[in-house]
Amino acid sequence: MKERPILFSGPMVRAILEGRKTITRRVLKLQDYDGGNCYETRDGILRDILSLCPYGIPGDRLWVRETWADPCGKRIPVYRADEATAYQNVKWRPSIFMPRWASRITLEITRVRVERLQDITEKDAISEGVLSSDYDKTYRYAFSVLWDSINGPKYPWSDNPWVWVIDLRYSDLDDWIASFEEELNCGLWNGGKTVKAYETNTGTMGGE
């Protein structure tokens, strides 16, 4: 079993925590793939296409990187996805710089496949964690809008690129609960409405 990091936006983190997101689609960089079981690499070797997935194989784990902060300076991270107005005077750190110790979500890969982006079904679009009510249309349409907001410049929905389709299982709910309790102990969360300000010895607020 291997572990690798994976980035998720705030809305998708919330979808994972709420149990709405169990699938993710990521661009297949090998866009000359012909749809078969094998892919010929640059050195002329035929490889099982699934063995080339950079995210792993069934049984591997993905730890989620998200926008975060450590205002206490004691390795008690908080997460921007939890609530837009819950944290004040916090200097947020980009998800790409999240270290392993700060990640609260670990996902187990249960299945990997390759398909064209537009082959997504309505059922799979629901499992992607999107909300159709955002656009008053189908879940599939909502997913296409989400996709273009992230990948549009290089791999737009209209181009129908090849994608990795990765089924996921959220496996550490207990760890998330423990992390949330640590936030309470640190005084960072107060009913989702107000946050205590923190002062360092120099009088800086919020761990800046």
Domain match, 109 and 205 both: no
Domain match, 126 and 165 both: yes
Domain match, 61 and 116 both: yes
21: domain CATH number?
3.10.400.10
Domain match, 116 and 208 both: no
Per the structure, the count of domains in the chain is 2
Domain match, 31 and 123 both: yes
Domain match, 89 and 188 both: yes
Residue 189 domain boundaries: 71-102+174-208
| Per-residue tens of pLDDT for the chain, all 208 residues | 899 999 999 999 999 999 999 999 999 999 999 999 999 988 889 999 999 999 999 999 999 999 999 988 899 999 999 875 566 778 899 999 999 999 999 999 999 999 999 999 999 999 999 987 666 689 999 999 999 999 989 999 999 999 999 999 996 555 555 555 555 556 554 443 333 322 223 232 333 2
Q: What per-residue confidence (pLDDT) applies to 180?
A: 55
Domain match, 111 and 208 both: no
Closest-CA residue to 105 (of 68, 130, 142) = 68
Domain match, 76 and 113 both: no
DSSP character string of 52-82: G-TT--TT-EEEEE--EE-TTSSS--EETTS
Domain match, 162 and 90 both: no
